[in-house]
Structure 1
């Protein structure tokens, strides 16, 4: 496998010896591959010091070509002679082949400038034939709980591309913050993007970071992120949560909440603040026509910013106590002829399912949206284990598998006391590597509804990019191999072989400055007293 991550489908050695790249090596881009050539010059060219001109007199060249006979994201990388070829079934396939070329050049090809200028570069004389197992190879990044500045998001898109991941699930809104500018509703960011403080520690004895926390992306920031992702053949799927996980929006526009209940409880006019703690807020959107019109306006601007086929609407963890206590919500339920509050939530999700479908988009939501039925085009993110995904696929819905038991990367990697802010279950590198996205209970026809899988990185306890790195890597590399490579059954996977290849891959991660968790054990952690180094709310340490 030449220490490649993710492992390719086939590698054959063409001949002994090494192929050489030098200052005379030219890079020739066939029709449709111009963007890949720009990326190669900007990254590999910058790291190696090679100019990679489009024309020249030397025999050595790298040729990029689209070959429709190859699978859409498949590629063929042939390095046996002076005419090196990267062919793909599409520009995306050529790009994934270019990522493999970069890995073969070694860790220094991942730097931003040459560390040994003037050297020539060598490649093994091999042919790599490869294609992905799944079309959806995703990473969710939660920027609502802890905001990640734009440069950090762009960095993670580069890291995704380096691992051949192609869907970025952008979790933009939640109780603790609203992160995307909506021009017609400016208070969503003026008020909803900032909270007064942040909670750490146990429920019984919480600790507080008393500094305000917040931030948001302007619409031009979003356009830049989406364009940057597209250059790397990554689709950005936005998530705007409804009807739960919406306290930040209600703080900005109190009329979105159940004002009769809130006023009766002493919050005049329904006033709330952006939530400063974790868990599930009891404050949810009111099921009114005005709320629907408000969010239609939000989604109209979201659709202008994000061209993705899918739009994620959340739909999870909607506590219904306010609806039960609200005379207005109960009157609305009866008016709609609904039996209970569960059906009221289904009505809410169903409205936006139809609204998005009418505009040529597809709704996707967490597996709670199955409760009450879905329109045929809607898809499900199965996070509460595999059961939601199984039920959705059997009902004919497309599924993205992301069970918290295996691919929630905010969960701790070790049960020792040195693991920083441990939450959730222990999920080791091996646990992730043995994840199987397609449940064996599905028939072949049902299994075709599994679009792929996604690793989720929530940020309640992940306050900056160094902690995101520590939680994500090396487990994200294992996940990338699961969703790209045609691996055997989980029990038969070569964990030792993967870890051996990772020994080389750590050098690549070092070169781009990823603060991964070392394979030998927890990294010594510099804690801020009273803030880091203590468990936050979550399942018991050994559950």
Structure 2
């Protein structure tokens, strides 16, 4: 009877709570965010506003609700408007709570909340993200408003890159005729065009006498069958493509000879043959990707080729925002085409765990989902604008074992190794919360011992910390024995997947970056560990303890440990101040270190060179030149972060791996640098050069929500990454005469951007149904009452309108100066008719965004 009464009480309580929720449809609200003052009180802060408009027929009450949103920025809590507080919940999740001064919003009316952001606003990704409402009486469910509008920043805000600036940057680019351009990218080690053409047609036969090239032969035949849309007929003896085995080309080298009657590709390995075939495909006209061909003329060339670096990687973050399997396969296609050989998959982070681990199902049943929660017991909270429920595919999703095996096989077929990253010990909130959910489930089932087996934090830990991304509970407790049980369990499940896929697993990345100060200081597990390990005298020593144990786990399985730079550093002091030096403990362990931190002006500009000189196998992932997610330049319509640099494709192309100080000219804010910052910094020794094993371009995904945004940020920068990682060191990198080096660089840069505009981007407009690569904004300059326009990639089409309308693929093509009358807008289009961002005149008669 008591149980029945209790159920009745609970039922009435639920009804009462439901009845307390106002009868108001949040879909009838429109939210608008805008910048009020981007130099508020003459400080580097912005006064911003959130305007709530009631489009319905019911009144929004003055209280009883909160707005939650995500942002990568800090805020002053008290709203300047005096009607609300802006409070941080955890990580990038914030709440807006109306106070007694907030007035109910009647139908057709608006309310305005003005608050201070402790940063200025530059581009649209600086706006708040994914706002949603939660009623106090129903705190477990969130509701999206009917509309959320971000108002653009005033184009006259000082310091923004205008079309006139772009025009002047483009002026130095030489327009090179298409027939004078090299036809292969990345530029081969040796490339010579000879007389004549090879006519590729359906009667051409692909021959391979060596079984080791059978797969490559099949893939080339499949490409040709698709190009011609038919099966091959019998071959003419004088019209063949022969794939031959030849010693002496190393792991990835090849030679390609195209003569009028025969094509010969020779290589020592299947990988080298694959790259030779990519170069042959590069010689094909881009029209092959747009339509079926009756025949193709291939220019006669003599090529001998091998890569500069053996490690050529792309790091893809799918933890912050998820990309589905098909999108990863699309990336792999172009990685193979441009001779990149490693996909570093950042699979786990605070905001998500994206790979199924069959032994630990909570990792995906809990940590692959994001929605409205304040306790993270069953799923993770909204991050990066993912919203209050699981419907957003950027916030919720993971790769099943079958998905991941398919990715591995697809990569293997393109001679790409997939390196998984399991982020530890920081950036691990997803894993921590998932293992807590597992613990709760098993404790409820009476299995306390089993429940504790994989716990990643000590319940008695009172340590107070805050990570760079503002989390206060995202670091694994490395003092716990269960941490290492967890690591080994995850590794074993990964090994099984790779084995099933028949794919190599030479390296696993275990993160290591951005562990905040004060972690573990009040952990009972840490205090217990110190008693049995006298070498551990402070929490800094836990770092070496943790990575030493992880390294031993991997060594038993013949797997190399990789990590971010902090893994290879030892905390010490210099002149009484905290400092980091290369850790001698791990130098001879063969670990791989990915170094991202060379932010100009922050003091670590030479960190990669320090570690390489110390003996660590170093991958350059430098934020100044190799981060895909940095905004191209300072403009409202260019997405991405810019804390490390504004980073256009020229930064990728101009990167000098062995001396990136040499041509560094601007700081992270785009201002001319004081070269004295390099005084006393370590230069790379010849020994250190041997330890630079390669380059890596990185796409961190906080601002990347869709497949189209992913492609916008990566392409065509990826082609420049491939060029710099594969091609030999250009002469301009070592030229001592600065004026001559500048001229040589401009000639090489002109060659590259002409190749992009006239060969590669027309190809990517159609390949795989078309990639959403970034189309540059045109440069525009006003002179003598006329507008002059140019484009970064010669060969791309500029179109314009004079009536204020948005230019389309049918608008007039720009062929010369346009009268500065009416409202003139310019826009660049790709070969398929897709347009980029618009440049237009400003009211002050100067081009603006």
TM-score by length of 1: 0.87
Kindly indicate whether the alpha-carbon contact (under 8 Å) linking 1:145 and 1:460 is maintained by their aligned counterparts in 2.
Answer: yes
> Which residue matches 1:335?
532
- 1:290-341 Cα offsets, whole Å, 9 max, x none, are 1111211111111233422111110111225341122332332443221221
**Other-structure match for 2:597:** 384
- Measured after TM superposition, the shift of residue 48 of structure 1 is 3.1
Do the aligned partners of residues 208 and 290 (structure 1) sit closer, same or farther apart at CA in structure 2, a change above 3 Å counting?
closer
- Equivalent residue in structure 2 for 1:436, among 656, 671, 681: 656
Tell me if the contact between 2:198 and 2:262 (Cα under 8 Å) persists in the aligned partners: no
Which residue number corresponds to residue 319 of structure 1? 516
1:517 and 2:771 correspond: no
Of 394-403 and 325-334, deviating more is 325-334
- For 1:268, the equivalent position in structure 2 comes to none
After superposition, give the CA deviation of every residue in 1:422-450 in whole Å (9 maximum; x if it has no partner): 54321011111111223482222321111
Q: Which residue of 1 aligns with 2:21?
A: none
Q: How many Å apart are 1:289 and its aligned residue?
A: 0.7
Q: Which residue of 1 aligns with 2:630?
A: 411
Supply the RMSD in Å over aligned alpha carbons.
Answer: 2.4
Between the aligned partners of 1:403 and 1:496, the Cα distance in structure 2 is: 24
Stretch of structure 1 that moved more, 169-178 or 21-30: 21-30
Higher relative contact order (CA 8 A, sep 6+): 1
Pairing 1:426–2:646 present: yes
Of 377-386 and 289-298, the range deviating more from structure 2 = 377-386
Classify 1:279/1:158 alpha carbon distance in 2 versus 1 (closer, same or farther; 3 Å): farther
Pairwise mapping of residues 433-472 of structure 1 onto structure 2 (< 5 A)?
Answer: 433-439=653-659, 441-472=683-714
- Which deviates the most, 72-81 or 142-151? 72-81
- Flag the 1:280–1:47 CA change in 2: closer, same or farther, 3 A: farther
Residues 388-438 of structure 1: per-residue CA shift (max 9 Å, x gap): 322222222211111111111100002111113554321011111111223
Report Cα offsets for 1:217-269 as digits up to 9, x if no partner.
1122212111111110111111111111110011111231232136x99xxxx
Change (3 A) 1:318 1:258: farther
Give 1:261's aligned residue: 461
Answer whether contact 1:245 1:281 (CA < 8 A) is retained.
no
What is the DSSP-based 3-state SS (H/G/I as helix, E as strand, rest coil) of the residue aligned with 1:516?
A: coil
Post-superposition offset of 1:280 = 5.4
| Residues 1:153 and 2:312 are matched in the alignment | no
User: 2:398 maps to what in 1?
Assistant: 216
- Supply the distance in 1 between the matched residues of 2:386 and 2:194 (Cα, whole angstroms): 61
Mean CA deviation greater in 442-451 or 476-485: 442-451
**Residue number in structure 1 paired with 2:483:** 291
Gaps of 5+ in 2: 1-180, 372-380, 437-454, 499-503, 571-582, 599-604, 661-682, 734-740, 779-826, 828-834, 839-849
**Structure number with larger C-alpha Rg:** 2
Once the two structures are superposed, what CA deviation does each residue of 1:27-84 show, in whole Å capped at 9, x if it has no partner?
Answer: 012321111112212334313335357x645531101122112232111111114221
In 2, distance between residues paired with 1:187 and 1:525?
43
Instruction: Kindly state the Cα deviation for residue 125 of structure 1 after the two structures are TM-superposed.
Output: 1.5
| 8 A Cα contact 1:44 1:109, kept in partner | no
Is the 2:777–2:837 contact (alpha carbons within 8 Å) kept by the matching residues of 1? no
Q: How does 1:295-310 map to 2 (within 5 A)?
A: 295-306=487-498, 307-310=504-507
What's the secondary structure of 2:194's corresponding residue?
strand
> Compared with structure 1, are the counterparts of its residues 390 and 52 closer, same or farther at alpha carbon in structure 2 (3 Å cutoff)?
farther
Q: How many residues align?
A: 503
SS at match of 1:141: strand
Q: Which moved more, 1:69-78 or 1:475-484?
A: 69-78
**2-structure distance, mates of 1:436, 1:189:** 41
2:248 is matched with 69
Aligned to 2:554: 356
The corresponding residue for 2:426 is 244
Distance 1:281 1:299, change over 3 A: farther
CA 383–282 in structure 1, closer or farther in 2 if over 3 Å, else same = farther
Report SS of the residue matched to 2:461: helix
Report how far residue 282 of structure 1 moved.
4.2
Alpha-carbon deviations, 1:193-234, whole Å to 9, x = none?
11115445xxxxxx6733432111112221211111111011
* Cα distance between partner residues in 2 of 1:100 and 1:50: 23
Counterpart contact for 1:22–1:50, Cα < 8 Å:
no
Partner Cα separation in structure 2 for residue 281 and residue 511 of structure 1:
46
Structure with higher helix content: 1
Change (3 A) 1:336 1:320: farther
